[in-house]
């Protein structure tokens, strides 16, 4: 038992696993690989920013600056190095000093090459020295004034924000707008911010006032009725974004149809939870703006003639545009929504190829309650029944006369049945023909008695008003100076004893 166990050479003794007593590795062992990784990433970013290939706008080129900042100038490329000559006039510009050793921002370069960016046909990325470039004159052909303020000063661009990025173009509110700092952390965030600034999107409609001012007052409005209260799917957002870029004359809006309901719900496809619907409105006439206020009343005590004259000169003005009138055509295509079909549908309405019906009153928005849903269902049922009857009449052509006679006989029988039921319920005895004849004779007698009371002058009786032609006061007749031949005496024929046609009022 005292003998030692000999181990093979090169074999170490394995310590048993004892949890809770292990120590983490030393920090100095992790610093070296971490530093190497950080340096490698930074070098990649720097070299990537240096070799971006982004075009730089010459700060002395007045024509390029004019087109960039004001959107004016001849068509074509805005500056040398432009990727395409077919532009919409939208630009994304990085303020970067010329000759600076500082590399171009990796956020800006990543955004310029991001596959989700919409391409140079909508917007283009470029670099400009905003402090050195001066504001160009708006008149074409004039050279830039060296004493003019810089682009950063005149458009209030904060160059202390790094990176300094602004967007310009016809789709930008104010034509030039700086991107906020919160959107400059990554390239994808910058792309999202640029798209929100340059691309049109659907405005949110929550009530009837929003619907009238934001949608119906536009010449064309496409309303998306969302089938859910949550955010719509990405493909729906992409469809609306593409449609907004394709049809800039159309205002797009969205409404939560899961919690609200339109007053014209019976004329559009039926609501199904989760399914989106689409409507197109076209303004017929009028405007949503309030009419001008009426002028104040004139002060009391003014001359009446002057008031009448003033009223004739300045008649009250009415609202020249009149009340807002619109028309509607719902999208009846397949669901879910598809971009090609929606694009064809909108093109038909904008181009006038599709018929659109005028609606008598502007639609309003109500909350989706059980009572409102039942009312809409009843309206749909009545509309379907009315449509079915019209279809039957169109298919049947001219109605058969015998069918009309049968219906008349049925109506007469129904009236007789109701009359008999009424007589029985109220204990009314039906009159005999003799009683009806006696009632008619009594009626005629009453008529004769009433006719005798009428103020009708008998034949040969003189008018009491003509007894004293000069009047009771002996005054002169107002017509005595006039020629008698110009008047006709209606009693002349009676006094001469001539024959005349008498009207027997009896």
| Spans of all domains in the chain | 49-198, 203-290+322-377
CB 152 within 8 A of CB 95: yes
In the block, residue with structure tokens 């001469």:
496
For residue 421 the two structure tokens come to 């039921």
Burial profile 315-332: b = 16 or more Cβ within 10 angstroms, e = fewer: eeeeeeeeebebebbbbe
Residue 134: per-residue pLDDT: 80
CA distance 198 to 119: 12
pLDDT at residue 411, rounded to an integer? 86
Position 229 scores a pLDDT of 92
Against a cut of 0.75, is the pTM above it? no
Concatenated DSSP letters for 197-244? HHS--PEEE-SHHHIIIIIITSSEEEEEEESSSSPPPHHHHHHHHHHH
User: Is-contact 130 69, C-beta < 8 A?
Assistant: no
DSSP 3-state assignment of 479?
coil
**Fold classified for 203-290+322-377:** Glutaredoxin (3.40.30)
What are the per-10-residue average pLDDT scores of the chain (506 residues)? Answer: 58 63 65 78 55 76 82 65 58 88 86 68 81 76 70 88 87 80 90 82 91 94 95 92 90 95 93 94 88 48 48 47 89 90 95 93 94 93 89 69 64 89 86 91 92 67 51 46 46 46 45
Q: Do the Cβ atoms of 337 and 232 come closer than 8 Å?
A: no
Which residues, 6 or more positions from 142, have their beta carbon under 8 angstroms from its beta carbon? 62, 136
- Evaluate the CA torsion angle 369, 375, 378, 380 in order and state its sign: negative
Q: How far apart are the first and last CA of the chain?
A: 163
Asked if domains 49-198 and 203-290+322-377 share a fold, the reply is yes
What is the C-alpha radius of gyration for the chain, rounded to an integer number of angstroms?
Answer: 46
From CA 459, how far away is CA 451, in angstroms rounded? 17
CATH 1.10.3470 fits 49-198, yes or no: no
- Which pLDDT value is given to residue 349? 96
The residues near 184 (Cβ < 8 Å, ≥ 6 apart) are: 107, 161, 162, 163, 165, 190
263 vs 255: CA distance, rounded Å:
13
């Amino acid at each position: 038992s005292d003998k030692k166990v000999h181990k093979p050479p090169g074999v170490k003794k394995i310590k048993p696993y004892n949890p809770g007593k292990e120590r983490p590795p030393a920090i100095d062992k992790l610093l070296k690989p971490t530093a190497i990784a950080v340096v490698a990433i930074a070098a990649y970013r720097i070299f990537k920013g240096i070799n971006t290939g982004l075009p730089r706008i010459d700060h002395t080129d007045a024509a390029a600056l004019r087109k960039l900042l004001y959107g004016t100038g001849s068509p074509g490329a805005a500056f040398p190095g432009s990727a395409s000559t077919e532009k919409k006039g939208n630009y994304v510009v990085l303020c970067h000093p010329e000759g600076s050793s500082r590399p171009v921002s990796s956020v800006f370069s990543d955004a310029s090459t991001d596959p989700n960016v919409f391409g140079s046909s909508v917007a283009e990325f470029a670099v400009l020295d905003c402090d050195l470039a001066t504001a160009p004159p708006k008149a074409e052909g004039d050279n830039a004034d060296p004493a003019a303020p810089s682009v950063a000063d005149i458009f209030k661009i904060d160059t202390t924000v790094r990176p300094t990025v602004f967007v310009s173009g016809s789709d930008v509110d104010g034509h030039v707008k700086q991107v906020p700092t919160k959107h400059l952390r990554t390239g994808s965030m910058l792309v999202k911010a640029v798209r929100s600034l340059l691309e049109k999107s659907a405005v949110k409609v929550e009530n009837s006032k929003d619907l009238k001012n934001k949608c119906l007052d536009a010449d064309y409005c496409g309303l998306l009725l969302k089938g859910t209260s949550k955010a719509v799917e990405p493909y729906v957002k992409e469809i609306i974004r593409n449609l907004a870029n394709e049809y800039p004359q159309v205002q797009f809006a969205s409404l939560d149809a899961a919690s609200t309901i339109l007053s014209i719900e019976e004329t559009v496809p039926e609501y199904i939870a989760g399914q989106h619907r689409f409507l197109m409105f076209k303004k017929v006439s009028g405007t949503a703006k309030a009419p001008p206020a009426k002028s104040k009343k004139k002060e009391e005590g003014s001359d009446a003639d002057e008031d009448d004259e003033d009223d004739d000169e300045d008649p009250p003005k009415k609202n020249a545009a009149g009340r807002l009138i619109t028309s509607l055509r719902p999208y009846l295509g397949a669901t879910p929504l598809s971009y090609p079909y929606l694009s064809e549908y909108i093109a038909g309405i904008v181009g006038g190829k599709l018929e659109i019906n005028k609606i008598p009153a502007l639609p309003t928005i109500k909350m989706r309650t059980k009572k409102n849903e039942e009312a809409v269902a009843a309206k749909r049922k009545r509309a379907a029944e009315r449509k079915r009857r019209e279809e039957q009449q169109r298919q049947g052509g001219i109605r058969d006369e015998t069918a009309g006679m049968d219906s008349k006989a049925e109506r007469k029988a129904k009236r007789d049945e109701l009359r008999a039921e009424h007589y029985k319920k109220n204990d009314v005895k039906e009159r005999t023909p003799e009683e009806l004849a006696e009632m008619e004779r009594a009626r005629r007698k009453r008529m004769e008695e009433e006719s005798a009371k009428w103020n009708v002058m008998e034949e040969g009786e003189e008018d009491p008003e003509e007894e004293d032609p000069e009047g009771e006061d002996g005054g002169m007749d107002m017509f005595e100076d006039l020629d008698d031949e110009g008047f006709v005496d209606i009693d002349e024929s009676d006094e001469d004893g001539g024959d005349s046609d008498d009207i027997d009022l009896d």
